[in-house]
Amino acid sequence: MVAGNVDIEGCIKRSCDLEGQPLSGRSLGAIVESYQDGSYLAESIKGSQADQDFKTKFIDENEAYVQFGGTDRYFLRVCHNIRSSGRCDELFLFIHGLGGNLEQFEPLLRMLDETGRQFLALDLPGFGKSDEWDRYCMYDVVEAIHQAVDKIAKSGGYGKLTIVGHSMGCYLSVHYYLKYHEEVNRLVLLAPPKPNVDYLAKNRYWIQIGLHTGHKFPWLFDIYRERFDQCKGLKSSGIRQFFHREGGVTSSYRKLWQFHNNVQIKSRSIFGYFLGWREIDWSELNDVLIKAGAQTSLVIMCGDRDEITPVQYSSDISDLLPGANAKKLIAIRDCGHNLCFDYPEVVLKEFHENVLSELS
């Protein structure tokens, strides 16, 4: 089935509807009612019941684990709908941000599945349910992502690759593109960070010392997270800064879902990714985009109420890439950092109009 044969408004509505999706079988209302916000939420949302409440049938049906390496083997958790070894006409690759996981793209994945498109999303090493690494150089993470694509999608090959990155995942997406641009048809950057993250520069010695200390003794940061942030429940930074909209039961459920994932983030991995950060040469990227011409296009999408990566960051990146073909900059009104969870209906509509329609 292709997008032209689908009632897209109905498709978007179904892709955003979570009723009946939790593996626990409980209604969204019952789940929301059972978790009392406040200082005890972090503990109550870690239990086995929460694992069933905040995992959807769609994710469960498409989830897999991919093994890498020899004696030092590790596993990456992935979610994909590639069911045969035949050729993919187009493949959508999703790369999440710092501390995130593949579930943050859930509404988009469902829309792609319903419109007959193939996708691959993954938990980055050290996040979600993927194994931890000792170090997280961005270039090594990009290689792991490329190997995942090789293992899952390349047996039959694919014609077009659209990379969708969120937050830090935008940096990884660009590094991926710079190395494997001949494979990529489109870059979609959701809520990208500022073009140059100066404070992570290697010559910022005191910051580097602090990052190394946090990486070696992550329990120090865990104390801060647990006693001074997570104890605030849905008013903690990971919810307050990621969401802008107030809504009904579904919005409350998505906030609890994100909080459930937040309390499981590994502090050591956060420091590891900061230490492994690699800046982007934007002039090089612009040159590659110019050479690619009509073969690669760029879509940048952000929330106009994003406190973590403000709209100005997206605008700055757009200005640094004048050579990009069919470049689009889209600001979602009244939306925070986690676009797909905060305002999924509008994000899916914009994604359909500015990405899927262009590829049809």
Other CB atoms within 10 Å distance of the CB of residue 47 = 11
Cα gap 57→40, rounded to integer Å: 27
In the numeric block, the tokens 């950092």 are attached to 337
Q: What is the DSSP letter of 22?
A: B
Q: List the one residue out of 199, 219, 190, 184 whose CA is nearest residue 277.
A: 199
Cα gap 268→265, rounded to integer Å: 9
* Residues contacting 223, CB < 8 A, separation 6+: none
The catalytic site residues sit at 167
Cα gap 269→21, rounded to integer Å: 30
In the numeric block, the tokens 């593996």 are attached to 23
Cα gap 42→264, rounded to integer Å: 10
Cα gap 197→339, rounded to integer Å: 22
In the numeric block, the tokens 């994100």 are attached to 258
Cα gap 185→163, rounded to integer Å: 8
Cα gap 346→179, rounded to integer Å: 32
